[in-house]
Structures are given as structure tokens and as C-alpha cells.
Amino acid sequence: MSNKAKAVVGSDYRDARGLETLKHEIAQDTTGGISFIDVFEVYDGDDRVVMFKIPAAVVAIPTAWKGVWYGRDGESIGKLSLEELDRIRSQVRRDWSKQLIDGSSVKHLDAEALTIACNSYKAKLNKTHVGKEVDAMTDEEFLTKIRLMEGGRITNAALVLLGNPDHDDLMSPPARAMWRLHGSNDVDLDYREFRIPFITVVDRLFGMVRKLTYRYIPNKKSLSTFETDQYDESLCRELLNNAIAHMDYSIGGRIYLDEFEDRLAISNPGDFLPGNIAKVLKPEYTSPYYRNQLLADTMVLFNMIDSAAMGIRKVYRVQKDRFFPLPDYEYGDSRKVVARVYGKTLDTNYTHPVRPPRIKLGHDIFA
């Protein structure tokens, strides 16, 4: 575009193949691996125009390029001052899961889910006096104590975890999850959709997965066959609960558990907040923030997730100990995160602990 003539003049910036790698290249040097949502080529007659779809700025976290923060100063671009950086960092991040739902009350929650929540809370704290205190509370008092209710209204987190499915329209769009079964050549064979309460949805989802036994010989020095479940239940629960905690409920969509002949794929709407899987695999990693802080905190209280942000490292460890391929993560292209867990060995050499591991990612926990 010519600024002076306000006319399209065309661009020869990279070819289509070069544009395909651009998002990855940008993500290598930005805070949290932020990159373009998409890159398009359009034509005005014979003139080629390259268009970039840019994500919204992350609240309270300035985005750096190669460790330097930039901003516009009139017609020029320069480094942000300390005052400008402080102004960005002082922005208030809105926790979607903490927002109260107008017109809501405890009657919109599921009685069985509430019972499970109380029992899980007591088991998590495991103190006699806490159990007696909770038993003496009304539902409203208990929910207020754990910040899922305020002034008689419930939060989005309460509806997601404990809501009555008949009232899921209180949240727009409603939270849903789906299991899908795919046969050979990825042909769709079956599916089932699940609604709130999500405190029980992991049991319902994983209950649909076929419980198959996988047999293989893990050691070249022995002909003994090793038998194990095709998918480790604790691993799948960890991934599904993480999907619940980190899903971007404001943009809609579902959590999917896709079952294939040799793998499971668990996906949820939302950007991958760490930006890069290698960062999460480091023992010292801590998340800069949680998309749904109250929801995540409550899931810790209900013993659904770990408070130490160890979920991803845990699933890598489980697969490594089973001599199965490590999980694959896909993120960054369409505001969706996908975790793939393999239920069979892809290379028999991988099962032999006397050889170096086929995959080593970033830290000695995989050595």
C-alpha cells in the first residue's frame, strides 16, 4: 500500500512457502511464543497483498521482541520506558471464571456434584476439624467459603464444575465436552457429547475409551512379554483436567477426546499460554498466569489438578516409564491446544532401556 497515493501497489514479501514458516519464526523471539494467528495472501487484481491476523495483547504482560520491549512514538518505533512498562504491568486481568452470573443461585447447581465437591474438599485437606466444619455448613456457606459464590450468586467456575446441565444456558456459550471414536483411515465410528458438571466429566469421558491391553517385549535380553493398559488412566485424567482448567470458555467450542486405533488426542479451545513446550519441561518453570485462576484454584481444592504446575512433566514421565513414545503437543495455529498420547510403541528400539532414548526434550528428566 502506498501511503501517499493510498493505493495498492503489491508486495513480493516471501512466497507462500516462506509465509508458512513465518509464524514459527516469530514465536521463537517473542514473550510467551506469541505469533500471528494466521497469514493470508489476497489479490487486488494482479497486485499481491499479504495480510496478518494479530492476536489481542495479553493483559498486564508486555510483549518483548528478542528481550526488548518496543512501542510507537509518533511515527517512529522505540523502546518502551520504565513508566510505560509499569503502566502495562499494572493492568487488571479479568478472571472469567470468577465473574458472577446474574440471576443465578445455588438452585442452578447439581446436588450430586455438590456432594462430590464437599467430599473431595474434605479428603484433600484431610483434617478432622475441617470435615466437621464443612458438614455443619449449608451449601451456600460452603460455596461462599471456597469463593464459588458471592452475595447469593454463583460464579462461572461454580457453573462449570458443579452446574446442573438443565441450566447450562446461564453461560454463553455453554461448556461442553465430546468423545469421538475413529476407526481405520480415521473414519468416524461413534461419538457422545457431555455437559456440565465438569467435576465428573473426566470419569464420563474416559469411561468411553476402550480398555485394551497392549503387549510387547521391553528388553532385548529377555523374551518375556510385558502387558499394560493401552492408556494410563492417571495420565489421561491429568490431561483432561488440564483442558478443563485452561480452556478459553469465552470463545466457545468443546473439549474433545478423540480416540484412534493407536492414540488419543485431547484438545481444548485457547492459546497455549507458556508459548513453548520446552519451557514447561524445565523443573523451575512457573506459569506467568492462569486463564481461569479461580477455576484452577478450585480444582486444586477438589484434588482434580496439582498446584505445582507439574501436569505436562508428569505425562512425559508416565510415557517414558512405560517405554511408550512421548506425547506430542500442537498449538499456535488456531487458538487450540492438542495433546496426543500414543497407545503403542512406534519403534521397538524405543522400548529397550539399554539404548539412549529416541527423544530427548530439553532437560535431564528424560535422560
Of residues 364 and 316, more confidence is placed in: 316
What is the residue whose three cell numbers read 529416541?
Answer: 358
**CA-closest candidate to residue 200, choices 309, 125, 117, 124:** 117
Which of 87, 113, 285 has its CA nearest to residue 200?
Answer: 113
Compute the 3-state secondary structure of the chain and give helix, strand, coil in percent, each to the nearest 5.
Answer: 35, 25, 40
Band of the pLDDT at 28, cuts 50, 70, 90? confident
For residues 224 and 306, give the distance between their C-alpha atoms in angstroms, rounded to a whole number.
Answer: 36
Q: Is residue 309 scored above 60 in pLDDT?
A: no
Q: Which of 15-29, 150-164, 251-265 has the lowest mean pLDDT?
A: 15-29
Mean pLDDT to the nearest integer, 268-281: 79
Q: Is residue 312 within 8 Å of 318, Cβ to Cβ? A: no
Cell 506459569 locates to 287
Using the predicted structure, report yes or no on whether residue 149 has a pLDDT greater than 90: yes
pLDDT at 359 over 90: no
Per-residue 3-state assignment (H helix, E strand, C coil) for 60-124: CCCCEECCEEEEEECCEEEECCHHHHHHHHCCCCCCHHHCECCCCCHHHECHHHHHHHHHHHHHH
CATH 3.30.565.60-classified regions of the chain: 94-367
For residue 367, name the pLDDT band (cuts at 50, 70, 90): very low
Query: What b/e readout covers 89-99, taking b as 16+ CB neighbours within 10 angstroms?
Result: eeeeeebbbbe
Q: Which phi-psi region, left, alpha or beta, contains residue 234 (left: φ > 0; alpha: ψ -120 to 50)? A: alpha
Q: Is the pLDDT of residue 357 over 60?
A: no
pLDDT band of 15, cuts 50, 70, 90: confident
28-37, 143-152, 298-307 — most confident range: 143-152
Specify the range with the lowest mean pLDDT, choosing from 11-20, 108-117, 142-151, 240-249: 11-20
What mean pLDDT is predicted for residues 310-338? 83
Q: Does residue 12 or residue 32 have the better pLDDT?
A: 12
pLDDT of the residue at 361 = 45
Higher pLDDT, 222 or 24: 24
Q: What's the predicted TM-score (pTM) here?
A: 0.72
Find, among 125, 146, 143, 256, the residue nearest to 201 by Cα: 256
Q: What is the CATH number of domain 94-367?
A: 3.30.565.60
Q: Annotate 115-164 with DSSP letters as a single string.
A: HHHHHHHHHHH--HHHHHHHHTS-HHHHHHHTTSEETTEEBHHHHHHHB-
Mean pLDDT within 88-113: 89
Question: Which pLDDT band holds residue 36 (cuts at 50, 70, 90)?
Answer: confident
Could you give the CA distance from residue 241 to residue 311 in angstroms, rounded to a whole number?
Answer: 9
Please report the pLDDT score of residue 213 as a whole number: 85
The backbone torsions φ and ψ at residue 179, rounded to the nearest 5 degrees and listed phi first, read -100, 135
Instruction: Please state the rounded mean pLDDT for residues 325-331.
Output: 89
